Structure 1
Amino acid sequence: MFKKRIKTEVVPPSEYTDFSERFPGDEKYATLKHVAIAGAVPTVTAIGTGMLMYNNFKDSYTSTLLPVSSPVQQPTLEPVVAQIPSVVPVNAVGQPVGVIADKSLEMIATILDPVVQVLVAISFPIASVIMVGACFWFMIGNGEKAWSIIMNCGLGYVLIQMSPLFLGILKTIGEAI
Protein backbone atom coordinates (compact mmCIF):
# COMPACT_ATOMS: atom_id res chain seq x y z
CA MET A 1 0.00 0.00 0.00
CA PHE A 2 2.73 2.49 0.89
CA LYS A 3 4.98 1.42 -1.95
CA LYS A 4 2.44 1.96 -4.69
CA ARG A 5 4.12 3.46 -7.72
CA ILE A 6 2.57 6.37 -9.53
CA LYS A 7 2.86 6.02 -13.25
CA THR A 8 3.78 9.26 -14.97
CA GLU A 9 2.20 9.89 -18.32
CA VAL A 10 4.10 12.07 -20.78
CA VAL A 11 1.84 14.35 -22.76
CA PRO A 12 3.25 16.02 -25.86
CA PRO A 13 3.25 19.82 -25.68
CA SER A 14 1.05 20.08 -28.76
CA GLU A 15 -1.91 18.71 -26.78
CA TYR A 16 -1.99 21.60 -24.33
CA THR A 17 -0.21 24.51 -26.06
CA ASP A 18 -0.97 24.24 -29.77
CA PHE A 19 -4.03 26.25 -30.71
CA SER A 20 -3.79 25.42 -34.40
CA GLU A 21 -7.40 24.23 -34.61
CA ARG A 22 -8.49 27.85 -34.33
CA PHE A 23 -6.73 28.99 -37.49
CA PRO A 24 -7.25 27.57 -40.97
CA GLY A 25 -4.40 26.84 -43.35
CA ASP A 26 -1.08 28.65 -42.99
CA GLU A 27 -2.35 31.13 -40.41
CA LYS A 28 -1.37 28.74 -37.63
CA TYR A 29 2.08 30.17 -37.22
CA ALA A 30 3.58 33.64 -37.30
CA THR A 31 5.25 34.54 -40.56
CA LEU A 32 8.23 36.80 -41.14
CA LYS A 33 5.79 39.58 -42.02
CA HIS A 34 4.04 39.27 -38.63
CA VAL A 35 7.33 39.30 -36.77
CA ALA A 36 8.58 42.33 -38.74
CA ILE A 37 5.38 44.29 -38.05
CA ALA A 38 5.42 43.37 -34.36
CA GLY A 39 9.05 44.52 -34.11
CA ALA A 40 8.44 47.72 -36.09
CA VAL A 41 5.54 49.03 -33.99
CA PRO A 42 7.59 49.87 -30.86
CA THR A 43 10.40 51.26 -33.01
CA VAL A 44 8.09 53.56 -34.96
CA THR A 45 6.39 54.61 -31.73
CA ALA A 46 9.69 55.43 -30.07
CA ILE A 47 10.96 57.37 -33.09
CA GLY A 48 7.69 59.31 -33.43
CA THR A 49 7.57 60.15 -29.74
CA GLY A 50 11.24 61.14 -29.76
CA MET A 51 10.75 63.45 -32.73
CA LEU A 52 7.69 65.01 -31.12
CA MET A 53 9.52 65.62 -27.84
CA TYR A 54 12.58 66.99 -29.68
CA ASN A 55 10.44 69.42 -31.69
CA ASN A 56 8.45 70.51 -28.64
CA PHE A 57 11.35 71.12 -26.29
CA LYS A 58 14.31 72.10 -28.48
CA ASP A 59 13.62 75.86 -28.10
CA SER A 60 12.29 75.82 -24.55
CA TYR A 61 15.67 76.32 -22.88
CA THR A 62 16.76 79.50 -24.67
CA SER A 63 17.91 82.47 -22.63
CA THR A 64 15.31 85.15 -21.92
CA LEU A 65 17.65 87.67 -20.28
CA LEU A 66 17.27 91.34 -21.16
CA PRO A 67 20.34 93.53 -21.66
CA VAL A 68 21.10 95.70 -18.66
CA SER A 69 21.48 98.88 -20.69
CA SER A 70 18.02 98.72 -22.28
CA PRO A 71 15.98 101.88 -21.62
CA VAL A 72 12.80 101.56 -19.60
CA GLN A 73 9.84 103.19 -21.29
CA GLN A 74 7.34 105.02 -19.15
CA PRO A 75 3.71 104.58 -20.21
CA THR A 76 2.01 107.73 -21.40
CA LEU A 77 -1.39 108.42 -19.95
CA GLU A 78 -3.97 110.00 -22.21
CA PRO A 79 -7.49 110.95 -21.19
CA VAL A 80 -10.23 108.55 -22.25
CA VAL A 81 -13.24 110.13 -23.87
CA ALA A 82 -16.39 108.07 -23.83
CA GLN A 83 -18.49 108.27 -26.94
CA ILE A 84 -22.08 107.19 -26.56
CA PRO A 85 -23.94 106.66 -29.83
CA SER A 86 -27.26 108.44 -30.08
CA VAL A 87 -28.88 105.68 -32.12
CA VAL A 88 -28.17 101.97 -31.86
CA PRO A 89 -29.26 99.98 -34.92
CA VAL A 90 -31.70 97.17 -34.17
CA ASN A 91 -30.07 94.61 -36.45
CA ALA A 92 -26.54 95.13 -35.14
CA VAL A 93 -24.84 91.78 -34.57
CA GLY A 94 -21.31 91.47 -33.26
CA GLN A 95 -18.77 89.80 -35.48
CA PRO A 96 -17.26 86.65 -33.96
CA VAL A 97 -13.54 87.08 -33.81
CA GLY A 98 -12.55 83.90 -31.92
CA VAL A 99 -10.01 85.63 -29.70
CA ILE A 100 -11.57 84.44 -26.46
CA ALA A 101 -12.09 80.91 -27.76
CA ASP A 102 -8.51 80.69 -29.03
CA LYS A 103 -7.06 81.96 -25.77
CA SER A 104 -9.29 79.66 -23.73
CA LEU A 105 -8.26 76.66 -25.81
CA GLU A 106 -4.60 77.62 -25.51
CA MET A 107 -4.95 78.07 -21.73
CA ILE A 108 -6.68 74.69 -21.30
CA ALA A 109 -4.02 72.98 -23.44
CA THR A 110 -1.29 74.62 -21.36
CA ILE A 111 -2.93 73.51 -18.12
CA LEU A 112 -3.51 69.92 -19.29
CA ASP A 113 -0.08 69.41 -20.88
CA PRO A 114 1.67 68.62 -17.54
CA VAL A 115 -1.16 66.22 -16.68
CA VAL A 116 -0.62 64.33 -19.95
CA GLN A 117 3.14 64.27 -19.34
CA VAL A 118 2.64 62.84 -15.83
CA LEU A 119 0.29 60.15 -17.16
CA VAL A 120 2.81 59.23 -19.85
CA ALA A 121 5.56 59.08 -17.22
CA ILE A 122 3.65 56.78 -14.85
CA SER A 123 2.37 54.47 -17.59
CA PHE A 124 5.52 52.31 -17.55
CA PRO A 125 5.44 51.45 -13.81
CA ILE A 126 1.72 50.75 -13.95
CA ALA A 127 2.11 48.56 -17.06
CA SER A 128 4.94 46.69 -15.33
CA VAL A 129 2.79 45.93 -12.29
CA ILE A 130 -0.11 44.77 -14.46
CA MET A 131 2.13 42.46 -16.52
CA VAL A 132 3.66 40.94 -13.39
CA GLY A 133 0.14 40.43 -12.06
CA ALA A 134 -0.78 38.69 -15.31
CA CYS A 135 2.10 36.28 -14.76
CA PHE A 136 0.33 35.07 -11.63
CA TRP A 137 -2.53 33.91 -13.86
CA PHE A 138 0.02 31.66 -15.60
CA MET A 139 0.97 30.24 -12.21
CA ILE A 140 -2.67 29.62 -11.37
CA GLY A 141 -3.15 27.86 -14.69
CA ASN A 142 -5.25 30.35 -16.59
CA GLY A 143 -2.93 31.16 -19.49
CA GLU A 144 -5.68 32.51 -21.77
CA LYS A 145 -6.57 35.24 -19.29
CA ALA A 146 -2.88 36.00 -18.70
CA TRP A 147 -2.22 36.51 -22.42
CA SER A 148 -5.32 38.65 -22.71
CA ILE A 149 -4.19 40.90 -19.85
CA ILE A 150 -0.64 41.15 -21.23
CA MET A 151 -1.86 42.05 -24.73
CA ASN A 152 -4.32 44.65 -23.43
CA CYS A 153 -1.68 46.12 -21.14
CA GLY A 154 0.87 46.34 -23.95
CA LEU A 155 -1.62 47.98 -26.29
CA GLY A 156 -2.67 50.45 -23.59
CA TYR A 157 0.95 51.33 -22.84
CA VAL A 158 1.75 51.98 -26.51
CA LEU A 159 -1.37 54.14 -26.93
CA ILE A 160 -0.57 56.15 -23.80
CA GLN A 161 2.98 56.72 -25.04
CA MET A 162 1.60 57.89 -28.38
CA SER A 163 -1.09 60.15 -26.86
CA PRO A 164 1.02 63.36 -27.08
CA LEU A 165 1.48 62.66 -30.78
CA PHE A 166 -2.26 62.09 -31.23
CA LEU A 167 -3.08 65.27 -29.31
CA GLY A 168 -0.65 67.25 -31.44
CA ILE A 169 -2.29 65.90 -34.60
CA LEU A 170 -5.75 66.78 -33.27
CA LYS A 171 -4.57 70.29 -32.41
CA THR A 172 -3.13 70.78 -35.89
CA ILE A 173 -6.36 69.56 -37.47
CA GLY A 174 -8.40 71.88 -35.23
CA GLU A 175 -6.27 74.87 -36.17
CA ALA A 176 -6.61 74.04 -39.87
CA ILE A 177 -10.39 73.97 -39.63
Structure 2
Amino acid sequence: MFKKRIKTEVVPAHEYTDYSDRFEGDEKYATLKHVAIAAAIPSTVAIGTGLFMFNKFNDTYSSTVIPVNAPVQQVMEPVVAQIPSTIHVNTIAEPTGIIAEKSLEILATALDPVVQILVAISFPIASVIMVGACFFFMLGNSEKAWSMIMNAGLGYVLINLSPLFLQILKQIGEAI
Protein backbone atom coordinates (compact mmCIF):
# COMPACT_ATOMS: atom_id res chain seq x y z
CA MET A 1 0.00 0.00 0.00
CA PHE A 2 2.76 2.47 0.86
CA LYS A 3 5.10 1.34 -1.92
CA LYS A 4 2.62 1.80 -4.72
CA ARG A 5 4.25 3.86 -7.46
CA ILE A 6 2.49 6.63 -9.26
CA LYS A 7 2.99 6.41 -12.98
CA THR A 8 3.82 9.69 -14.60
CA GLU A 9 2.36 10.50 -17.96
CA VAL A 10 4.24 12.57 -20.51
CA VAL A 11 1.98 15.09 -22.23
CA PRO A 12 3.09 16.64 -25.52
CA ALA A 13 3.79 20.36 -25.26
CA HIS A 14 1.26 21.34 -27.93
CA GLU A 15 -1.59 19.97 -25.79
CA TYR A 16 -1.15 22.57 -23.08
CA THR A 17 0.49 25.55 -24.77
CA ASP A 18 -1.06 26.38 -28.15
CA TYR A 19 -4.67 26.86 -26.94
CA SER A 20 -5.95 25.77 -30.34
CA ASP A 21 -9.20 24.52 -28.84
CA ARG A 22 -10.28 28.15 -28.34
CA PHE A 23 -10.09 29.05 -32.04
CA GLU A 24 -11.45 27.60 -35.23
CA GLY A 25 -10.01 27.50 -38.75
CA ASP A 26 -7.53 30.21 -39.70
CA GLU A 27 -7.88 32.00 -36.36
CA LYS A 28 -5.41 29.59 -34.76
CA TYR A 29 -2.34 31.29 -36.15
CA ALA A 30 -1.31 34.91 -36.58
CA THR A 31 -1.22 36.08 -40.17
CA LEU A 32 1.02 38.71 -41.71
CA LYS A 33 -1.87 41.16 -41.40
CA HIS A 34 -2.12 40.57 -37.63
CA VAL A 35 1.61 41.01 -37.16
CA ALA A 36 1.66 44.22 -39.24
CA ILE A 37 -1.23 45.72 -37.27
CA ALA A 38 0.34 44.74 -33.94
CA ALA A 39 3.64 46.34 -34.98
CA ALA A 40 2.01 49.49 -36.36
CA ILE A 41 0.05 50.43 -33.25
CA PRO A 42 3.00 51.10 -30.86
CA SER A 43 4.99 52.89 -33.55
CA THR A 44 2.01 55.10 -34.42
CA VAL A 45 1.50 55.98 -30.76
CA ALA A 46 5.23 56.68 -30.34
CA ILE A 47 5.31 58.94 -33.41
CA GLY A 48 2.18 60.80 -32.29
CA THR A 49 3.54 61.29 -28.78
CA GLY A 50 6.89 62.46 -30.16
CA LEU A 51 5.24 65.00 -32.46
CA PHE A 52 3.07 66.25 -29.61
CA MET A 53 6.08 66.69 -27.31
CA PHE A 54 8.11 68.31 -30.10
CA ASN A 55 5.35 70.81 -30.84
CA LYS A 56 4.68 71.41 -27.16
CA PHE A 57 8.23 72.51 -26.37
CA ASN A 58 8.97 74.32 -29.65
CA ASP A 59 6.12 76.84 -29.56
CA THR A 60 7.28 80.37 -30.29
CA TYR A 61 4.72 81.80 -27.89
CA SER A 62 3.61 80.63 -24.51
CA SER A 63 0.00 79.57 -24.09
CA THR A 64 -0.71 82.62 -21.91
CA VAL A 65 1.09 85.28 -23.99
CA ILE A 66 -0.85 86.86 -26.84
CA PRO A 67 1.10 89.26 -29.05
CA VAL A 68 -0.69 92.54 -29.72
CA ASN A 69 0.41 94.90 -32.50
CA ALA A 70 -2.10 97.70 -31.89
CA PRO A 71 -0.80 100.86 -30.18
CA VAL A 72 -2.04 101.51 -26.67
CA GLN A 73 -3.72 104.88 -26.12
CA GLN A 74 -4.48 106.21 -22.70
CA VAL A 75 -7.50 108.45 -22.46
CA MET A 76 -8.23 110.32 -19.26
CA GLU A 77 -11.90 111.02 -18.72
CA PRO A 78 -13.53 112.53 -15.65
CA VAL A 79 -15.22 110.05 -13.38
CA VAL A 80 -18.66 111.05 -12.15
CA ALA A 81 -19.95 109.18 -9.12
CA GLN A 82 -23.66 108.73 -8.86
CA ILE A 83 -25.38 107.34 -5.82
CA PRO A 84 -28.54 105.44 -6.67
CA SER A 85 -31.65 106.49 -4.85
CA THR A 86 -32.81 102.89 -4.38
CA ILE A 87 -30.85 99.67 -4.30
CA HIS A 88 -32.54 96.67 -5.86
CA VAL A 89 -32.19 93.52 -3.77
CA ASN A 90 -33.09 91.12 -6.57
CA THR A 91 -30.35 92.36 -8.89
CA ILE A 92 -28.09 89.54 -10.06
CA ALA A 93 -24.59 90.39 -11.19
CA GLU A 94 -23.70 89.42 -14.73
CA PRO A 95 -20.97 86.77 -14.84
CA THR A 96 -17.85 87.95 -16.66
CA GLY A 97 -15.95 84.67 -16.67
CA ILE A 98 -12.73 86.31 -15.46
CA ILE A 99 -12.70 84.49 -12.12
CA ALA A 100 -13.62 81.15 -13.70
CA GLU A 101 -10.89 81.47 -16.35
CA LYS A 102 -8.27 82.48 -13.79
CA SER A 103 -9.22 79.68 -11.40
CA LEU A 104 -9.10 77.15 -14.24
CA GLU A 105 -5.70 78.44 -15.29
CA ILE A 106 -4.39 78.31 -11.70
CA LEU A 107 -5.74 74.78 -11.23
CA ALA A 108 -4.22 73.58 -14.51
CA THR A 109 -0.90 75.20 -13.64
CA ALA A 110 -0.92 73.65 -10.16
CA LEU A 111 -1.66 70.17 -11.52
CA ASP A 112 0.97 70.28 -14.30
CA PRO A 113 3.84 69.21 -12.01
CA VAL A 114 1.74 66.33 -10.66
CA VAL A 115 1.00 65.09 -14.19
CA GLN A 116 4.68 65.45 -15.15
CA ILE A 117 5.76 63.45 -12.08
CA LEU A 118 3.27 60.68 -12.91
CA VAL A 119 4.50 60.58 -16.51
CA ALA A 120 8.11 60.45 -15.29
CA ILE A 121 7.56 57.54 -12.89
CA SER A 122 5.32 55.55 -15.25
CA PHE A 123 8.27 53.92 -17.05
CA PRO A 124 10.02 52.56 -13.94
CA ILE A 125 6.75 51.26 -12.51
CA ALA A 126 5.74 49.61 -15.80
CA SER A 127 9.22 48.05 -16.01
CA VAL A 128 8.95 46.57 -12.50
CA ILE A 129 5.49 45.18 -13.27
CA MET A 130 6.69 43.60 -16.52
CA VAL A 131 9.71 42.02 -14.84
CA GLY A 132 7.45 40.76 -12.06
CA ALA A 133 5.13 39.28 -14.68
CA CYS A 134 8.06 37.29 -16.07
CA PHE A 135 8.17 35.40 -12.78
CA PHE A 136 4.67 34.15 -13.48
CA PHE A 137 6.05 32.61 -16.69
CA MET A 138 8.62 30.81 -14.57
CA LEU A 139 5.90 29.60 -12.20
CA GLY A 140 3.79 28.29 -15.07
CA ASN A 141 1.04 30.88 -14.98
CA SER A 142 1.45 32.33 -18.45
CA GLU A 143 -2.13 33.69 -18.67
CA LYS A 144 -1.59 35.96 -15.68
CA ALA A 145 1.86 36.95 -16.96
CA TRP A 146 0.53 38.03 -20.36
CA SER A 147 -2.34 39.86 -18.69
CA MET A 148 0.03 41.80 -16.42
CA ILE A 149 2.38 42.66 -19.30
CA MET A 150 -0.48 43.89 -21.50
CA ASN A 151 -2.02 45.95 -18.66
CA ALA A 152 1.34 47.49 -17.75
CA GLY A 153 2.03 48.40 -21.39
CA LEU A 154 -1.43 49.86 -21.91
CA GLY A 155 -1.20 51.81 -18.65
CA TYR A 156 2.21 53.19 -19.63
CA VAL A 157 0.94 54.36 -23.03
CA LEU A 158 -2.20 55.95 -21.56
CA ILE A 159 -0.24 57.74 -18.82
CA ASN A 160 2.15 59.16 -21.41
CA LEU A 161 -0.79 60.30 -23.54
CA SER A 162 -2.61 61.88 -20.58
CA PRO A 163 -1.11 65.38 -21.16
CA LEU A 164 -2.50 65.22 -24.70
CA PHE A 165 -5.92 64.15 -23.40
CA LEU A 166 -5.88 66.94 -20.80
CA GLN A 167 -4.96 69.49 -23.46
CA ILE A 168 -7.86 68.27 -25.63
CA LEU A 169 -10.26 68.54 -22.68
CA LYS A 170 -9.00 72.06 -21.96
CA GLN A 171 -9.57 73.09 -25.59
CA ILE A 172 -13.08 71.62 -25.53
CA GLY A 173 -13.82 73.46 -22.28
CA GLU A 174 -12.63 76.74 -23.74
CA ALA A 175 -14.74 76.23 -26.86
CA ILE A 176 -17.88 75.70 -24.80
TM-score, with length taken from structure 1: 0.77
RMSD: 2.6
- Which residue does the alignment assign to 2:93? 94
- Which residue does the alignment assign to 1:120? 119
Which of structure 1's runs of 4+ aligned residues deviate more than 4 A?
7-11, 80-83
Structure 2 Cα separation of the partners of residues 84 and 26 of structure 1: 86
- Cα deviation per residue 1:112-156 (whole Å; 9 max; x = unaligned)? 111111111111111110011011111111111111111111111
1:162 aligns with 2:128: no
Alignment of 1:51-90 (within 5 A): 51-59=51-59, 83-90=82-89
Q: Which has the higher contact order (CA 8 A, sep 6+)?
A: 1
| 3-state SS in 2 of match to 1:44 | helix
- Which residue does the alignment assign to 2:136? 137
Are 1:48 and 1:165, in contact at CA under 8 Å, matched by a contact in 2? Answer: no
Structure 2 Cα separation of the partners of residues 60 and 107 of structure 1: 22
Letter in 1 for 2:23: F
| 3-state SS in 2 of match to 1:116 | helix
Unaligned runs of 5+ in 2: 1-6, 63-78
> 90-99 or 108-117, which moves further after superposition?
90-99
Letter in 2 for 1:150: I
% identical aligned pairs: 74
Alignment of 1:7-22 (within 5 A): 11-22=11-22
Instruction: Describe the shift of the 1:136–1:61 C-alpha distance in structure 2 as closer, same or farther (beyond 3 A).
Output: farther
- Cα deviation per residue 1:76-110 (whole Å; 9 max; x = unaligned)? xxxx9865422123442211111111111111111
| 3-state SS in 2 of match to 1:88 | coil
- Which residue does the alignment assign to 1:109? 108
Letter in 2 for 1:38: A
Alignment of 1:17-32 (within 5 A): 17-32=17-32
Letter in 2 for 1:19: Y
